[in-house]
A = this chain, B = another copy of it.
């Protein structure tokens, strides 16, 4: 559908800067023109119009670290020590999750994401060929990178799953879906397998990907302080430096790697991240909730690294709310470094949009509002008490706006939510499915 958004304040997050009373023209899924409404009105008189009065348009938010299916476990277990949380709570329940459950969980995350203006989700979970996260994201209308998570303990299974995932889903759903190779973490994937997964990424790219549409690599790294110890213990490798020194030594690091967390880094790790072009997914809510610590984001930014934002799963967050992650990112580094000038609002908004797109090597298509890019647009209603009065749209978006202020969402030109009504899915049906699935999982535990 072709349309125009007229009379809004547009934060392009690109070369166009901010445009007051601006108009965006969307044709065939792309942004074909942008400018002041006064100069655009006569040019496109017949296009269907979305009224942008009292609204602000930003690029769709990019959530660079998630496990979409795990929203089924939202609030299932909190405030518990990490190892107990995993071993006694999360893993036993996850063991009962089948393909349909994964599909339902991912659907729930997709709905929540749409309602909160996150149009792209980078998700790492178990791929099953029957039903899966990719199917859910495809149906929901959002954009996503869907990975299959790999462990040393199940290489054969992983090899098949990765191939099936790439073959079935890469570039599909009108190009809204991409796939990734996801080594779970440094201490669960042995050095040889890590190298193999790098080669697998290359091979899958040769077969199914392209430089314009690459298959990426998504992993957890440097999440907890004891990670170097865990690597040493698991693989008996001589490890003296930080986690990224180790990852460099196994030759997995390139510009296509999205490394989630990056909390415990040495100075040398930071240099390696910047030099190799590794993309950081900063997940402050999850890192705080699990007691992992705080990523040295100001240092990473200073080093020139690409730092994007992720919610992590709704199991350790417990929501998929990128507005919340933006605010907490802006607050946290100021607070713990005793410096109110660090990580200012404009930078945070970049992290959630254009830097997120860069993190997923998808910035040719998304991340900013520019002619030629796909129309992934989020329209935010600013006529709210908590967004009044208005001095700065950027300040309000980071420090005051809530996901519930998102009014309308477009992905690749398609209006997937309008006036907070999701067009692509039956939300009530998904809520019923989620509750039913939760009950089935709990009953399995009791068996």
Residues of chain A at the chain B interface (Cβ within 8 Å): 71-72, 74-76, 78-82, 85, 108, 111-112, 115-116, 225, 284-285, 287-294, 314, 317-321, 324, 327-328, 330-332, 334-342, 344-345, 383, 385-386, 388-392, 395-396, 399-400, 402-404, 427, 430-431, 434-435, 437-438
- A399/B78 contact (C-beta < 8 A), A285-B331, A320-B386, A386-B319 known: yes
Closest B residue to A339 using CB positions: B291
**Chain B nearest CB: distance from A93 CB in Å?**
10
**Chain B nearest CB: distance from A253 CB in Å?**
27
Please indicate the chain B residues that have their CB under 8 angstroms from the CB of A403 in the complex: 386, 402
Please indicate the chain B residues that have their CB under 8 angstroms from the CB of A328 in the complex: 328, 331
Report how far A291 CA is from B344 CA in the complex, Å. 12
Please indicate the chain B residues that have their CB under 8 angstroms from the CB of A385 in the complex: 108, 111-112, 115, 427, 430-431
Report how far A385 CA is from B81 CA in the complex, Å. 27
The answer to whether A389 and B320 touch across the interface, beta carbons within 8 angstroms, is no
Please indicate the chain B residues that have their CB under 8 angstroms from the CB of A339 in the complex: 291
Please indicate the chain B residues that have their CB under 8 angstroms from the CB of A399 in the complex: 75, 78, 289, 317-319
The answer to whether B388 and A431 touch across the interface, beta carbons within 8 angstroms, is yes
Please indicate the chain B residues that have their CB under 8 angstroms from the CB of A115 in the complex: 385-386
Which of A344, A385, A438 has the most CB atoms of chain B within a 10 A radius of its CB?
A: A385
**Chain B nearest CB: distance from A334 CB in Å?**
5
The answer to whether A389 and B81 touch across the interface, beta carbons within 8 angstroms, is no
Partner of A331, one of B80, B81, B288, B400: B288
The answer to whether B72 and A335 touch across the interface, beta carbons within 8 angstroms, is no
Please indicate the chain B residues that have their CB under 8 angstroms from the CB of A438 in the complex: 389-391
Given pairs A81-B340, A290-B340, 18 additional interface contacts (CB within 8 A): A74-B391, A75-B396, A79-B330, A82-B340, A108-B385, A112-B385, A288-B331, A289-B331, A291-B338, A291-B339, A314-B386, A319-B399, A336-B336, A383-B431, A385-B427, A386-B403, A389-B437, A389-B438
Report how far A116 CA is from B386 CA in the complex, Å. 10
Which of A337, A341, A437 has the most CB atoms of chain B within a 10 A radius of its CB?
A: A341
Closest B residue to A346 using CB positions: B79
**Chain B nearest CB: distance from A92 CB in Å?**
14
**Chain B nearest CB: distance from A294 CB in Å?**
6
Please indicate the chain B residues that have their CB under 8 angstroms from the CB of A391 in the complex: 74-76, 438
Please indicate the chain B residues that have their CB under 8 angstroms from the CB of A434 in the complex: 388-389
**Chain B nearest CB: distance from A419 CB in Å?**
15
Closest B residue to A403 using CB positions: B402
Partner of A74, one of B78, B85, B400, B402: B400
